A and B are shown apart, each in its own frame.
Chain A
């Protein structure tokens, strides 16, 4: 049922919608335009908003595999990001699935431990970074994608546990009990009954975890160098360095954003539960 709207109110509504749309899209559109504009077009005053010529060479430059080129470094960073985020996500799910199931089936008795874990992982990373740096340095494990993935586990595991727990709550206990009476072991129940029923939730949790790891900058900045740099560190270096071509920085930004934006659209429906669980990046 809808109230009939007056004409002025309709105009007000559409005007606001247009302003909001422009506010969201304009910066992104400009990032894309910068990536496909000739450098001359980007450095004229007054600025020409639309490029005179379409210049796609930077996309080729960043995906070039010639040794020591900026493209090779970019691809290496992309590979590192994929590796770190992938490994950390798989490890996080492996830890989170049993934990989430356990808390969910304890009828609220273990909820306190979960809230405790959530609270711990929201602590500022600056409070942990120095000892972790000492430890990695002593073990000779700095500058390694594996070490970084392990550190990320501390962010991803609590978050995925939290997300999965509320989803396991919706898997009826009766089905599990029936399987138990039929003589199934716990691991069989989880693998054959609960996890298939919670499959969409597992995908959601995994993708959220991947996004968190893809976005992380602070630990990556301090624990990686040269060959182990992830994309955010690579882009920050590029932006902070003496690169004269703004378009190249923009292109790296566009390419680094494609995976999370695609995942974001895919996650649309489950976004709110993830956001509340702390799936946000400062």
Chain B
């Protein structure tokens, strides 16, 4: 029989390839980013000087940084809350019996499966200021008088992107919530009906306890992802017009790659890592508490 020590050694040996991958492709670059952010390193080489916390103080005292942070927060708040509301409503709908329910449920896969860049491109075409379907629809319905540049105006660009993001991501909330709803035992629902509970109190007392855990997981996951947003914005507006859609990830990209200031870009990225870590810690905590809910 195997001894405990051999078992432990074997466990770690089997884990080793994964740990090696994570160390080389995540651990090492992260450590290196920390190092770089205290220097004035350029992307394409040249002399590297230690500058202490200069990058951080520059970032944290610049108004441009806070405006980018605010844009990111707006994006997260608007997108994720809309995804939560529409996603939950759709799940409650799909939990009912009606003709076409399975078809509708299957259709929910489509936005989720569509590649992010294709989604962004599709909405960019839909929002086209001269010929786009969005303008055509609103004009033909009589809701607007003239075509507008939805992505070209600072007042509407971010919200137009939010709509595209919501369309793609609300099915995630729906699918997770629906799975939770369908795990509510039928007998429990039937018993509540027999006890004469109304729809609202049935929802609160019977359904909600099953829903709240998975739904929280879905929302926190969406917040983590939305906070990192890059792809959809890069394709739809590249951060414009007038920086109105520039998010933190876009700022790092701009500083480190477009302006070649690797050190400064790295320091912005590190500030972002700090905030992300808090969210991720919350998410992992949730997952642990729930075990593997499936």
Chain A interface, number of residues (Cβ within 8 angstroms): 105
| Contact B231 A218, beta carbon cutoff 8 Å | yes
Nearest CB of B to A120, in Å: 5
| Contact B116 A217, beta carbon cutoff 8 Å | yes
B212 at interface by CB-CB < 8 Å? no
A268 to B179, CA, bound (A): 12
Cβ contacts under 8 Å, B139 to chain A = 46
| Contact A122 B280, beta carbon cutoff 8 Å | yes
Nearest CB of A to B199, in Å: 9
| Contact B22 A120, beta carbon cutoff 8 Å | yes
| Contact A161 B18, beta carbon cutoff 8 Å | yes
Once A and B bind, how many residue pairs between them come within 8 Å at the CB atom?
A: 306
Which residues between 7 and 29 of chain A lie within 8 Å of chain B, taking CB atoms? 10, 13-14, 16-17, 20-21, 23-25, 27-28
| Contact A122 B276, beta carbon cutoff 8 Å | yes
| Contact B284 A276, beta carbon cutoff 8 Å | no
A62 at interface by CB-CB < 8 Å? no
Task: Choose the segment among B50-58, B61-69, B153-161, B219-227 that binds chain A (4+ C-beta atoms closer than 8 Å).
Answer: B219-227
| Contact B93 A115, beta carbon cutoff 8 Å | no
A253 to B112, CA, bound (A): 15
A144 at interface by CB-CB < 8 Å? no
Cβ contacts under 8 Å, B232 to chain A = 282
Task: Choose the segment among A53-61, A64-72, A151-159, A191-199 that binds chain B (4+ C-beta atoms closer than 8 Å).
Answer: A151-159
Interface of chain B, helix or strand or loop or mixed? Answer: helix
**Binary contact readout A149-172 vs B (1 if CB under 8 angstroms, 0 otherwise):** 011011001100100001001000
A117 at interface by CB-CB < 8 Å? yes
Q: Which of B17, B27, B36, B273 has the most CB of A within 10 A?
A: B17
Which residues between 60 and 117 of chain A lie within 8 Å of chain B, taking CB atoms? 94-96, 98-99, 101-103, 105-106, 109-111, 113, 115, 117
| Contact B133 A30, beta carbon cutoff 8 Å | yes
Contact pick for A276, options B176, B234, B249, B273, CB 8 Å = B176
Given A126-B230, A217-B234, A281-B116, 4 other A-B residues pairs in contact with their CB atoms under 8 A: A103-B11, A130-B29, A134-B262, A236-B235
17 A-B pairs within 8 Å (CB atoms) are namely A10-B98, A16-B93, A17-B93, A20-B93, A28-B110, A28-B122, A30-B133, A95-B21, A123-B26, A124-B249, A128-B30, A158-B18, A218-B231, A260-B113, A265-B106, A265-B109, A282-B228
